[in-house]
Amino acid sequence: MKAESRSTTQDERSEALLHGPAPNGRFRARMATPSAEIAAAPRPDGKPRWWRDGRRRRMLGVADLVVAAGVGAAIVSLAGADWWWALVTAPLGPLFAKLFGLYDIDHRAIHHLTVDELSKLGGWAGVMVATTAVIIPGDLQVITFVLVVPVATFVAFCCRAIARAAWRRITPKERTLVIGEGAPAVGIARKIELFDDMHLELASTEHPSTFDGLNGHTDAVASAALSQVDRIILAWPNADPGLIERLLTHCRQHEVKLSVVSPFRGLARPSEKVSHVADLPVLEYNTWDIPRSTIALKRGLDLIVSAVLLVVLAPLFALIALAVKLDSRGPVFYRQERAGRRGQTFTMFKFRSMIDGAEERLSEVVSIDELDAPVFKLRADPRVTRVGRFLRRFSLDELPQLINVLRGEMSLVGPRPEETMLVERYEPEHMFRLELRPGMTGPMQVLGRGELTFAERLAVDMDYLETLSVARDLRLLVLTAPAVIRGRGAF
């Protein structure tokens, strides 16, 4: 690169990543520096990747707090309670909004408006008003609930719309690179120009380079663009899954949002689980970190539920311990090293369901080196005791893991913790399972347990990681009970 090119200011580099449509409808991306230089380049604005989304969440949270305080004030007035109850119940607004997923929709969708969440706002308002009415002392009539809920929904709609408008006014737009050709690329670029509420701008780098075939240039495109843009939109009618996977890997590494314009139009266009920008269906890919508020709520749920269950289930623990001790010789609890979050090992607790010294006899029933995949589950393991079979059938042997949850080594919900000797056989693409704390239950327990192949386990764990939320954790906890009763895959 020439010296004068290196000295080009960031403002000059930010003019337009799209060089406009060429006569054949193909968009020309521009590359500023060689791939290695761009990949190592700092962010132009010096800010974290997701600062725009964090600011929007905070502004929406303030709006929800104001609405919740107003609801509390209204109920306090109607019930004749002390005014400070309105302050006590105000945090319920942001809390329930988080559980309803009202802070994450904007981040996941390329085009989200307040009117799109109106039905969720109604549910949120109903739960918040009902809970506030239960907490605040006083006699309230049913008519109070009937009147306050629609008013709260309307006020919340207005406050959130104002918060989003204010956010767009004070926050720079996302710098967006469109890669593609033909009608999809022209269409999405036109939508960005027409719909200002998308809050996107076509960004730019320096040296033009026409891409005559994207498949062979994915790495170069990603490396050249990722340090200067916040979102990539792939509008390539003939893009194959392998190309998208490679581009997705780059975007995840560099924390850049990725959207793919579907090539299907008219009656063939998808209608579920996609964003829509007018007539254009857009597939959204998860490339961002889990929000800290989600992690905090998840950990809070773990602490409260595990502490309560350890106290409530203490008599059951005693009965199981007695049964294990009477059935066979050996300790009541079984301790094993498992791989936890980020591969850190921890000691997992279970009620012993096998004969004492079962690990020394593992080679008699399975050869780890001959496994086709780093997982094994035996249907008729001769090492399992009579009481152990009963405990495994109803997952009672897993209850001591509540101690691991309380200690922060595990979570109530998450990918199951795997033995370290199996994790050592993981390929790099399997390591995503270690991004979260392992769970006592999770999608694998609900969807088949031991019946699932390794590939199926990876698929359900990836889906869980991609769509993690406290609401989904609660759903999986509820679904665990019928799954345990059915006993499918419990061996």
Could you list the pLDDT tens digit for every one of the 491 residues in the chain?
Answer: 333 333 333 333 223 323 333 333 333 332 222 333 333 344 555 667 788 898 999 999 999 999 999 999 999 988 888 889 999 999 999 999 998 989 988 887 888 889 889 989 999 999 999 999 889 887 777 777 788 899 999 999 999 999 999 999 999 999 888 887 777 788 888 888 888 888 998 875 433 333 333 444 445 555 555 667 888 888 877 777 777 777 787 788 778 888 888 766 554 455 445 666 666 667 677 777 778 888 888 999 999 999 999 999 999 999 999 999 998 888 999 999 999 988 899 999 999 988 887 777 776 766 666 667 777 666 777 788 899 889 988 889 999 999 999 999 999 999 989 888 888 888 887 888 888 899 999 888 888 777 788 888 888 888 888 778 888 898 899 888 888 887 665 65
H or E element that contains 71 = helix 51-79
Amino acid code (one letter) for 152: A
Closest CA to 35 of 173, 207, 267: 207
Q: Which residues of 372-398 are buried (b: 16+ CB within 10 A; e: fewer)?
A: eebbbeeeebebbbebbebbbeebbbb
- Please report the pLDDT score of residue 350 as a whole number: 94
Q: How far apart are CA 311 and CA 305, in angstroms?
A: 10
Q: What is the greatest pairwise CA distance in the chain?
A: 83
Closest CA to 258 of 270, 242, 244: 244
What tokens were used for 382? 């001769």
Q: Which residues contact 22 (CB under 8 A, 6 or more apart)?
A: 28, 210
CB 38 within 8 A of CB 194: no
Q: How far apart are CA 439 and CA 243, in angstroms?
A: 33
Q: How far apart are CA 67 and CA 97, in angstroms?
A: 11
- Please report the pLDDT score of residue 196 as a whole number: 87
Q: Tally DSSP H helices, then E strands, for the chain.
A: 20, 13
pTM of the model: 0.67
CB 463 within 8 A of CB 285: no
Q: Which residues contact 76 (CB under 8 A, 6 or more apart)?
A: 82, 83, 85, 86, 136
Task: Determine phi and psi for 452, rounding to 5 degrees.
Answer: -75, 140
- Please report the pLDDT score of residue 171 as a whole number: 93
- Please report the pLDDT score of residue 156 as a whole number: 96
Q: What value, to the nearest 5°, has the Cα angle with vertex 414 and ends 112 and 372?
A: 115
Q: Which residues of 433-458 are buried (b: 16+ CB within 10 A; e: fewer)?
A: bbbbbbbbbbbbbbbbbbebeeeebb
Q: How far apart are CA 270 and CA 69, in angstroms?
A: 40
Instruction: Give the residue extent of every domain in the chain.
Output: 3-42+172-285, 51-170, 292-486
- Please report the pLDDT score of residue 8 as a whole number: 36
